[in-house]
Amino acid sequence: MKLGSEEVAQYLKLHPQFFDEYADMLSDIYVPHPHGGRAIPISQRQIVTLRDNNQILQDKLRELVKFGEENDVIGEKIHHLSIMLLTFPHLNDLLNDLNSILQDNFSIPHVELRLWGTDFDSLEISKFISTNTEIHTMTNSLLHPYCGPQLIDEIKHWFGESASNLCSFSMIPLKTKQTFGLLVLASEEPQRFYPEMGTLYLQRIGELISTSISRYSPAECNK
């Protein structure tokens, strides 16, 4: 009766004493090298497997360390953003400087922001006010920041002459108890804001900016 490979493997698993009884035979068994055509002793094959597994673990560890270092850098930038947002005595100053703040801290080349549903008594921020209900509805439907290549034409027009060169976008709703604005980040790089990317830090940026803006009209932004 001829045994199949699975039957042999199952037998060896159920009868580990086989290796004690035939220890000398193991030194005579040669198997193919996993990284080449030559044959090597089975004991050496086990060493190769352990080395490969160790290399995989080392690669994963390096990847985790890299992610940790990158998160530390982003966390520091978020902290710096928080401090900067606290320094503006007037909303107009915050809105006008927000673009340069995000550019300097996060290397985001293009930033646009619009507000609605508020009663800010200032002609200086009129360029940041939007009353298009389609945009309001779309923003209200965002459960988390959007990242990808799609943007409705009216929002894309906010970027003026740069719009035709932009390839990726992130739309971040601004809200406290209700949505009152939209922050849009854009880049010429197609993979800067891609659909599968994580949005945790983008959401935190939106929360920080939302809270900062609400300080200037709390009755409107928090009602």
* CATH code for the domain of 102: 3.30.450.40
Q: Is the pLDDT of residue 128 over 50?
A: yes
Domain span at residue 177 reads 90-221
Residue 223: the pLDDT is: 45
- Report how far residue 77's alpha carbon sits from residue 121's, in angstroms, rounded to the nearest whole number: 32
- Report how far residue 97's alpha carbon sits from residue 73's, in angstroms, rounded to the nearest whole number: 22
- Report how far residue 165's alpha carbon sits from residue 122's, in angstroms, rounded to the nearest whole number: 32
Q: Looking at the structure, do residues 70 and 97 belong to the same domain, yes or no?
A: no
The more confidently predicted of residues 158 and 66 is 158
DSSP classification of residue 129:
B
155 near 90, Cβ under 8 Å?
no
Q: Looking at the structure, do residues 147 and 186 belong to the same domain, yes or no?
A: yes
Domains held by the chain: number: 2
Residue 220: the pLDDT is: 43
Domain final position from 87, 107, 123: 87
Q: Looking at the structure, do residues 194 and 103 belong to the same domain, yes or no?
A: yes
Domain final position from 87, 107, 131: 87
Residue 144: the pLDDT is: 93
Domain final position from 87, 119, 143: 87
